[in-house]
Amino acid sequence: MSETPNDDPRYHYNVIARALEIIDSEGPSLSLDDLAARLRMSPAHFQRVFSRWVGVSPKRYQQYLTLDLARRLLAERFTVLDTALEAGLSGSGRLHDLFLRWEAMSPGDFARAGEGLTIRWGLFPSPFGEALAMGTERGLCGLAFTAESGREEAMADLRARWPAADYVEDPAAIAPWVEAAFSQKGEAKLHLIGAPFQIKVWEALLSVPSGHVTTYSEIAQSIGSPRAVRAVGTAVGRNPVSWLIPCHRALRKSGGLGGYHWGLPVKRAMLAWEAARADSGAA
Task: Give the pLDDT of residue 234.
Answer: 92
Task: Give the pLDDT of residue 2.
Answer: 45
Amino acid sitting at position 85 = L
What is the CATH number assigned to the segment(s) 75-280? Answer: 1.10.10.10
Is 9-66's fold the same as 75-280's? yes
Task: Give the pLDDT of residue 80.
Answer: 59
Per-state percent for the chain, helix, strand, coil, to nearest 5: 50, 15, 35
The CATH number for 9-66, chosen from 1.20.120, 1.10.10, 1.10.530, 1.10.3470, is: 1.10.10
Per domain, the residue ranges of the chain are 9-66, 75-280
Q: Which of 247, 250, 269, 275 is catalytic?
A: 247
Instruction: Write out the chain's pLDDT in tens, 283 residues.
Output: 444 445 565 667 788 778 777 876 776 677 888 888 988 889 888 888 877 776 667 777 666 666 566 666 766 776 656 554 444 444 433 334 334 577 777 777 777 888 999 999 999 988 888 999 999 999 999 999 998 889 999 999 999 999 999 999 999 999 999 998 887 777 788 888 888 899 899 988 888 877 788 889 989 998 999 999 999 999 998 999 999 898 998 887 766 677 788 888 888 888 888 877 777 665 5
**Beta partners for 122?**
133
List alpha helices for the chain, DSSP H.
9-26, 32-38, 43-54, 58-61, 69-76, 81-86, 107-111, 146-149, 151-161, 171-183, 196-205, 216-222, 229-237, 264-280
Active site residue 247: yes
C-alpha separations of 102 from 3, 53, 93, 99 in Å: 42, 28, 9, 10
